[in-house]
Amino acid sequence: MSLVQKTRLESGIAVITEEMPDVESSSIGIWVNTGSRYETRGVNGVSHFIEHLLFKGTEKRTALDISREIESVGGVLNAFTGREYTCFYAKILNKDLPKAIDLLSDIFINSRFDRNEMDRERLVVLQEIKMVEDTPDDLIHDLFAERFWEGHPLGWSILGPSKNIKTLDRASVLKYFKDQYAAHNVFITAAGGLSHSKVTRLLKPAFGKIKKSAAPSQLMTPVAEPGVKLIKKDLEQVHMCLGVPVPPQSHPDKYKLYLMNTILGGGMSSRLFQEIREKRGLAYSVYTYLNLCKDAGALVCYAGTTRDKFAEVSGLVLKEFERLAKDMTPLELKNAKEQLKGGMLLGLETSDSRMMKLARDEIYFGRAVSVKEIVGEIDKVTLAEMKRSAAELLSPERITMTAIGKVSSRHLPSQLKAMA
């Protein structure tokens, strides 16, 4: 019998659990299918603002009560907002699961959105925005997404612009909350030393009768925009992101993308790390990552370097993109497969990582995807398939680059000057 079980409450909210009999902790998350891509320009940032506000007090608990209650049992209560979903979660010892569910239920359903608390938390979020703006190796990823998916909400900042946070009023926040935090948009995942029946029983009183809202939001698929955007700023380094559009998370080719990312920039043995940092000493930090969404995706390389080395570094990234389709070896692919499988298995040893995997599976596939299935799909990828995908996806005309620092078009490599 599978240790993953799924039940729908009377409200339609799905409860998905995975029993891990040998662990001492349980993790539970309430997930909302909303994030910055579901916002309008005028309220961009409201999803993240709501994430903060749900910890600022309910009808029976103050913000301090909420913190004390979870910390009194050594647990963790937290949340995060993405472009496509928001999560509120707790990790506790198995015996304290009822307390965690009571706390999560209370903040999710009974938050007061007190005006004074909103004004105080508004200042906190504004400081968070300033912190990102003062951290160019963080900021560059938002700037790249904005250029890559130009004009589309998927490219907007999760935090939103300061002017929105300053002007968001209680009525606007409550309207968004009512529309998005409704039964049709919510599901719950839990993993650890727990039982499915107990989790479902504990959740029913609070979540069994949550009302549905209007029809779910309709997504508009973004189109990636090739080109180069250079942003002048007085910095010691030039920070750059260079990427290409790739298929979305649910696409059958995702395992090829995972392997491609691993080979190019997924660790200290990767091509880009070895070529740019180890062999030439041109950058301290260089890596690639995948941003795979429901209907679109990007494979992105980040590097930070000096202005006089910027052209060389970006040229080397382009060279490695081009080379991948030509000279990838069987051993390189084999090593990438083992690295990918090993990293996944090691990463799934904790209750919180299992809880989050259940959620990603539900969001992108509508079902639990077993580790055995993932390993099998990774092993099935052939060298010929990898080379075909690399040749198709990593071609120069599909490139988008964003860079910030004391840089201009004359510092670009020749391959990118025409795109600036």
What's the confidence (pLDDT) of residue 19?
Answer: 97
By residue range, what is the domain housing residue 311? 227-417
Together in a domain, 162 and 258:
no
Q: What is the mean pLDDT of residues 13-26?
A: 96
Q: Is 366 left (phi over 0), alpha (psi -120 to 50) or beta?
A: left
Q: Is the pLDDT of residue 91 over 60?
A: yes
Half-sphere exposure of 42 (CA within 13 A, CB side): 4
DSSP secondary structure string, 27-77?
EEEEEES--GGGS-GGGTTHHHHHHHHTTS-BSS--HHHHHHHHHTTT-EE
What's the confidence (pLDDT) of residue 414?
Answer: 82
pLDDT digits (tens, 9 = 90+) for 325-363: 999 999 999 999 999 999 999 999 999 999 999 999 999
Together in a domain, 267 and 387:
yes
Together in a domain, 113 and 178:
yes
Give the separation between CA 263 and CA 265, rounded to whole angstroms. 6
For 397, counting Cβ atoms within 10 Å of its Cβ (0-12 exposed, 13-18 middle, 19+ buried), the class is exposed
Together in a domain, 149 and 256:
no
Q: In the chain, how many domains are there?
A: 2
Does residue 134 form part of some domain?
A: yes
Q: What is the mean pLDDT of residues 366-374?
A: 95
Give the separation between CA 278 and CA 218, rounded to whole angstroms. 46
Together in a domain, 328 and 396:
yes
How is residue 274 written in tokens? 């070895």
Please name every residue paired with 206 in a beta bridge, in sequence order, or none if there are none: none
What's the confidence (pLDDT) of residue 20?
Answer: 95
Give the separation between CA 18 and CA 40, rounded to whole angstroms. 36
Give the separation between CA 282 and CA 287, rounded to whole angstroms. 13
| Cβ neighbours for 151, distance < 8 A, ≥ 6 positions apart | none
Together in a domain, 254 and 351:
yes
Task: Read off the pLDDT band of 1 (50, 70, 90).
Answer: very low
pLDDT digits (tens, 9 = 90+) for 48-76: 999 999 999 999 999 999 999 999 999 99
Together in a domain, 138 and 287:
no
Q: Is the pLDDT of residue 159 over 90?
A: yes
Half-sphere exposure of 138 (CA within 13 A, CB side): 11
Together in a domain, 369 and 400:
yes
φ and ψ of 389, to 5 deg: -65, -40
β-bridge pairing 186-192 and 25-32 = antiparallel
Q: Is the pLDDT of residue 279 over 80?
A: yes
The percentage of the chain sitting over the pLDDT mark of 90, rounded to a whole number, equals 93
Task: Read off the pLDDT band of 418 (50, 70, 90).
Answer: confident
Together in a domain, 196 and 231:
no
- Using only C-alpha atoms, what is the Rg of the chain? 23
Q: What is the mean pLDDT of residues 369-394?
A: 97
Q: Is the pLDDT of residue 36 over 80?
A: yes
**Cα separation values, 29 from 50, 88, 212, 412, 418, Å:** 16, 5, 19, 45, 47
Interaxial angle between packed helices 330-347 and 254-265, expressed in degrees from 0 to 180 and rounded to the nearest 10: 100
Together in a domain, 136 and 244:
no
Whether the CB-CB separation of 144 and 402 falls below 8 Å is answered with yes
| Positions marked active-site | 51
User: For all residues of the chain together, what is the average pLDDT?
Assistant: 95
What's the confidence (pLDDT) of residue 214?
Answer: 61
Task: Read off the pLDDT band of 416 (50, 70, 90).
Answer: confident
Residue with tokens 């049992």: 73
Q: Is the pLDDT of residue 230 over 80?
A: yes
Does residue 212 form part of some domain?
A: no
Does residue 290 form part of some domain?
A: yes
| Cβ neighbours for 339, distance < 8 A, ≥ 6 positions apart | 262, 266, 267, 269
Together in a domain, 163 and 251:
no
Three-state secondary-structure class, residue 329: coil
Three-state secondary-structure class, residue 158: coil
Supply the CATH number for residue 291's domain.
Answer: 3.30.830.10
Q: Is the pLDDT of residue 251 over 50?
A: yes
pLDDT digits (tens, 9 = 90+) for 115-139: 999 999 999 999 999 999 999 999 9
Together in a domain, 8 and 154:
yes
Please name every residue paired with 189 in a beta bridge, in sequence order, or none if there are none: 16, 29
Does residue 374 form part of some domain?
A: yes
pLDDT digits (tens, 9 = 90+) for 189-218: 999 999 999 999 999 999 988 877 666 667
Segments in 168-306 forming alpha helices (H): 170-180, 196-207, 254-265, 271-272
Q: Is the pLDDT of residue 233 over 80?
A: yes
